[in-house]
A and B are shown apart, each in its own frame.
Chain A
Amino acid sequence: MSWTGKVLRVNLTEGTCKPEPLNMEWAQQYLGQRGLATKYLVEEIDPKVDALSPENVMIMTTGPLTGTMASTGGRYSVVTKSPLTGCIACSNSGGFIGAEIKAAGWDMIIYEGKSPKPVYLYLENETAELRSAEHLWGKSVWDTHEMLHKENQDPELKIACVGRSAEQGNLYSAIVNDMHRAAGRSGVGTVMASKNLKALACRGTRGVGNFKDPMRFLQATEQGKKVLAENAVTGQGLPTYGTQVLMNVINEMGAMPTRNMREVQFEGAHKISGEAMHEPRESDGQPNLSTNGACFACTIACGRISTIDPQHFSIKDKPEYHKASGGLEYEAAWALGSNTGVDDIDALTYAQFLCNEDGMDPITLGATISAAMELYEMGAITTADTDGLEIPFGSAEALVKLTELTAKGEGFGKVLGLGSRRLCEKYGHPDISMTVKSQEFPAYDPRGIQGMGLAYATSNRGACHLRGYTVSSEVLGIPEKTDPLTTDGKAELVKAFQDATAAVDSAGLCVFTTFAWGMDDIAPQIDAACEGDWTTEKLLEVGERIWNMERDFNLKAGMTAADDTLPKRLRKDAAKVGPAEGRVNDLDVMLPKYYEVRGWTTSGELMPETRERLGL
């Protein structure tokens, strides 16, 4: 088995760290990471708990393939109840921290209660202790990394921590690891800060092994890597252009959310695209993109490492930002760019740097700033609300200043830190908030990609593309092309993507492998590593079980079928240009069928036979 079989339980109220055995019966039903940690969570907390109270539990969790030589086997997740949405939160990150936790000998770390004073968890193999973080409180993610490396005299120490935004109560704060990878969505960092937990500093030297069939595992992972290398997407497209290659694709097909999703094409898309990141700039002849980067064990390497034009207004007098760091991925580029109407790639890169430096979800940040810009244009917000700032769509200066304020929770940034739903309600225009279950949309307008509308409306963590990425089929033709403008078959398509993704996440693998791998490529790797009989069929059943468990948690937390919806703008205001001209999202057509294929009642609840079939 490649589970370590050990859980570290940290009681922050009492200041204790105790090992306990992993529930192996649950591991067979929920695999690991997202699924297994969610099982622990639903067993341990009241779904109605205040997410920012000591009664909430936060779990850092690895999968059975995390820390192994399986390609992309470096993923970890943070599972908790979200303060932004009130739903289940599961935020997934790459980098190196997940593999380090595993190499230290732990499958997951469960944090309970609340520390009376700021602390960080120091974890070195079997040694776990809570140490004072009072000197770290108020420091950025980047400073925290540097201080922990220095005071522990260990530059190889892997760190996951919160920045100033989380300490200030920003509801979409991330937990950033390895400087610029993040468990980004749903405010998991806010929960961490609410527990007075600043960081995890981890050193694992035990390695990861203990495979069911080591030779077969070597063969299966080698075969998997061959498939990734020979596939044009994972072998060439992603390393070269990263996720940002989608900027021009989605814009050309008229599904680019623009200016708070009022429009579906952005005239400046080419200036902030993956291709643009390769173009030399005038000032120093350097392109925005310095190099690509890989997470632990990844053979794709889609990460973007970038620099900002040193002459750009945002950093001209700030040499600390002249270094290369984690750059624009498509989601950040869209949210901070087309959705705010800003086509200044250096301003966007700076805003991305700030999101890394102080731990904010760039999707929700960009969407919230976009909503503020629309409220400003409507006159619902004036300079009296914005600390004197003029914040029209398209203003790079406004984007930069608002990001700086939000990162530190200062002035109007404190209000922006509430997210767009609460912002728009505060100023009397809740319809302007582009959210599902209080979480902001990612980069695909569902008027032009119908299945994504259903995926957003039914996502268990609010609007999200990573719960069921039907773009893969509807736009990119992976594994097979479907028509983005039709609703036919989309209920089944969304369910298939949701279940498969839950299984991939729970293995500790990156979902980007699925651009080349099918479940038939993944199952042999898990089966060779883990006790049990891990077939494609079993993985899909596990995925479906996880999805229904998450749904059940949300229903018990107070969500209803009425929350499986989209903002009025996307259901009533037709796209004005492009292939989707005249179209709205036809969620009403797809949702009843989706409930049916899920085995749910017409009010979106699990039928008794569905519970029984899945063992829930």
Chain B
Amino acid sequence: MQIRIKLYASLSELLPQGVKAHEGFLLDIDDDLTPNQLIDQLHVPRPMAHLILRNGVYIKPEDRDRPLFEDEDVFAVWPPVAGG
């Protein structure tokens, strides 16, 4: 399947050259790939993968080691951030 990867804030440095964070890039993945495996594949240090959204919905830490992706998903990752 193919999903879209978005890496925001300081993680955008890990994007392929020329890719904008909000546009992201398409990636072919195996059906059984887990979020944590994908995080590793993207070279995002685990502690920096703080806020992880699948189609805008937070993926809980306990769900990150099981396959849950579907074709055309959007996978967005932020380091620890906050505001107000």
Contact = CB atoms under 8 A, between A and B. Distances in A.
A24 B81 CA distance: 39
B10 interface: yes
B62 to A, nearest CB: 11
B56 A243 contact: no
Interface residues of A, number: 42
A472 interface: yes
Contacts of B50: 232, 477
B15 to A, nearest CB: 11
Contact of B8 (A238, A275, A476): A275
Contacts of A579: 55-57
Interface string A458-489: 00000001100101100111100101100000
A469 B6 CA distance: 26
Given A240-B9, A476-B51, A245 B56 contact: no
Contact of A477 (B51, B56, B57): B51
Given A249-B81, A476-B82, A270 B56 contact: no
A241 interface: yes
A465 B84 contact: yes
Interface in A188-246: 231-233, 236-238, 240-246
A270 B19 CA distance: 13
Contacts of B9: 237, 240-241, 245, 274-275
B32 to A, nearest CB: 24
A512 B81 CA distance: 11
Contacts of B46: none
Interface residues of B, number: 27
Nearest to A474: B58
Interface in B21-65: 21-22, 47-48, 50-51, 53, 55-58, 60
A479 to B, nearest CB: 12
A450 interface: no
Contact of B48 (A232, A243, A481): A232
B56 A476 contact: no
B84 A469 contact: yes
Interface in A481-539: 481, 483-484, 511-512, 515
Contact of A245 (B20, B48, B55, B83): B83
A141 B10 CA distance: 36
Interface string A245-264: 11011001110000000000
Given A248-B21, A275-B21, A476-B51, A237 B56 contact: no
A245 B81 contact: yes
A330 interface: yes
B79 A330 contact: no
Nearest to A302: B83
A116 interface: no
Nearest to A264: B56
A478 B82 contact: yes
A269 interface: yes
A578 interface: yes
Most buried by A among B9, B22, B82: B82
A452 to B, nearest CB: 12
Given A236-B10, A270-B20, A512 B56 contact: no
Contacts of A238: 81-83
Contacts of A472: 82, 84
Interface in A560-578: 578
A578 B54 CA distance: 11
B53 A248 contact: no
A246 B81 contact: yes
Contacts of A245: 8-9, 78, 81-83
A135 B83 CA distance: 39
Given A232-B47, A270-B21, A252 B84 contact: no
Interface string B64-84: 000000000010101111111
Nearest to B74: A252
A616 B57 CA distance: 43
Contact of A237 (B21, B53, B57, B81): B81
Contacts of A511: 84
B12 interface: yes
A483 B60 CA distance: 10
Contacts of A249: 8, 51, 78, 81
A241 B57 CA distance: 23
Nearest to B57: A579
A561 to B, nearest CB: 28
Contact of A466 (B10, B48, B57, B84): B84
A478 B20 CA distance: 28
A419 to B, nearest CB: 22
Contacts of A483: 58
Nearest to B22: A270
B81 A476 contact: yes
B79 A275 contact: no
Contact of B82 (A237, A270, A465): A237
A240 B58 contact: no
Given A252-B56, A254-B56, A469-B84, A237 B79 contact: yes
Contacts of A244: 83
Contacts of B20: 270
A254 B58 CA distance: 12
A471 B84 contact: yes
Contacts of A270: 20-22
Contacts of B80: 231-233, 236-237
- Counting from the closest, the 5 A-B pairs by CB-CB distance are A243-B83, A270-B22, A232-B80, A246-B83, A579-B56
Given A472-B84, A511-B84, 16 more contacts: A232-B80, A241-B9, A243-B83, A245-B81, A252-B76, A270-B22, A273-B22, A275-B8, A275-B9, A275-B12, A330-B83, A465-B84, A469-B84, A483-B58, A484-B58, A579-B57
22 contacts: A232-B47, A232-B50, A232-B79, A236-B79, A236-B80, A237-B82, A238-B81, A241-B9, A242-B83, A243-B82, A243-B84, A245-B8, A249-B51, A252-B6, A253-B53, A253-B58, A270-B21, A471-B84, A475-B58, A477-B51, A512-B84, A578-B56
